[in-house]
Structure 1
Amino acid sequence: MIVTPLDSAVLDSKEQYIFYHKKVDFVLKELIVSVQKENLCTSKELIFFKQYCDLLMYSIEAMRVKYMYDEEDNMKVDLTDSGFPNYLEFRYLFNDLSLRHNYIAKLKDVSELQEEFLNQLLHKKQPVRKDKLFQASSIVYYTSVEQKYIFNRFVQGKIIEAPETASAQFMISWSFYDVSHNRPFICFMYFDYDGKNVESCKNDIYDVLKSTADRDMNLDTMAYGIDRKLPDVRPKHIKRIDLGPFHNVFAKDENEITHAILKSIASKEIPLESYALSFKIHEVFSGSEFEEGGYFSKQVFQKWSDIIKQDYVFAPHRIIQLLYNKTPEIMNKLAKPPIEVANLKMN
């Protein structure tokens, strides 16, 4: 898969990056609370949903520290249909941390850097130079950020027993960062297993999910691909959550919600920190089964229901009012009325 940074942009200043990072962190935390409050995930799904969001927040915070005082490089943000960092930023971060020991060996000693800071501030009465601050942030970054917690293109969850209320024996979760949309997706699959021990098959399941269900596609296509490649696995229910787009002042897409917010910010009807987050859940269920193949290569497949598509919007109260006025058709087609979240207040 070819990945390019063409759909991304560099923000105008470090102040804008500080603003951007605060917005993303705030919105993801609000999302976790609201998804639980609105029962959009089951209790078990919510545990994994929060874990994947935590990985996303951890990675974006690591980017903030990495680029804080770097005058040469800036984090690239997808402004077209996402609002999240460009996928390449996650890949760069992951690859960069694989060389952390090489970089740590080249960094100045902390005590030496502290001495320079004190001398500059107390004796010379001058602010610390940007290059020295970059050295300090690099020390923090390379000594505290763990590569294993970086949100990768594909993040695999473990197989666990499904809740008693589920219509299947097992449950598995995974997440991926779709490189065409530059947005995170979180998936759950409930399934039965015909073999003796599902643990003996787990690596096969993981491999198939990574190769078949690692990008945005029609959910029934994904379900059929998983079903075909895993003869002993009987998928019963697949649920996919799409986080985004994140509609905010930095966005430059053609989305009607984004345009409504940008126009209202431009006319000073609403403050710069105004935002909304689109959120989609797609689900398919297996109803019956059918057989394909000859006598010696017969395989049982699932017949899938129509895709159940549910769209949601999370926004503060003032933005919800605005969207009802500016985009009533979109608001009236949501699975439930827009879900109110807190305002972001910037100093």
Structure 2
Amino acid sequence: MADITRRFGWRHLRGAPTAHVRHHRSGRLLHDGPGLSFWYRALSAALSEVPVDDRELAMTFHARTSDFQDVSVQATVTYRISDTALAAGRLDFSIDPDTGVWRGAPLEQLGTLLTETAQQHALDVLARTSLAAALVDGVAAVRERIAGGLAAEPRLPATGIEVVAARVVALRPEPEVERALRTPAREQIQQDADKATYERRAVAVERERAIAENELASQIELARREEQLVDQRGTNARREAEEHAAADAVRAGAEAARTVRLADAEAARTVRLAGAEAQAAREVGEARAAAQDAWLRVHAEVPVGTLNALTGTRLAENLPRIGSVTVSPDVLTGLLAQLGAGTVESTLDCPSGRESA
């Protein structure tokens, strides 16, 4: 929009570089070009401002495919006004000399023209295309058809409009149909995901089986080594027992030999002691016999009175110790009788066989 200022009944217009301004007064063109700046009187000036920059026109419309499915087309058309004189003569680009605002809606007219033209060509393409084909290749086909149709449209050059590019952003069916179309793909994706999950589980199971086999092989190897260890321990224990048995046999033989030697020595010593004791006993017997013989000879030669005296002495030696004795006549008579009897027995025991009264 042009920048207009007021000064003492005059107006000053300052245009932008992207806006082409045309100033007419009394039917004559006084100013024509982009980015102009000039003074004018509001009552006698006829002003028009035509944009010359590239503009984007977004459009959305519905179409029907060959299988009677409704689709929505989102497209964008880039255009510019290449001939400002034609555009200003065909469309109302006049502005208010006091405010600089367009009196009409020229850009809306351009948008309607471009949208209806593009929609006509898109409908023509989609009406001969099924929904599945439209969703697969429809975007490119619709874009090419819209670009070609707009380029071949005779009204656009006659209006001074040049189409720069045409783009189709999206081609989408109704939400229910779109969900229905997504279902097989989702199912396929889910199947692929499940397959990947099963394959991953299978790989995990295979790895677990390999790990279990390794563990089992390790346990088998460990058991085999334990068996070898038990066998070796048994061999060592048997060898140790044999060694102990041999050592015990040697020890027992040595003990037996020692016992035999000790027994022989003890027997020899016993024999020697027995011989010595026998000799000593024989000698003692001979000595006793000699003493007895001498004793008998002595007693045979001793008088009887002496023997009685000795008998009384021995008897006194063998009697118990008496502190005081009271002798009555009866006791004395009996004692003398026993004494006389003891004397007779002593005389009978003499070896010479003599008797004494």
**Structure with the largest fraction of strand:** 1
- Rg larger for: 2
Q: Which has the higher contact order (CA 8 A, sep 6+)?
A: 1
Q: Same fold (TM over 0.5)?
A: no
- Name the TM tier (shorter chain): under 0.3
**TM-score, normalization by structure 2:** 0.23
* Higher helix content, 1 or 2: 2
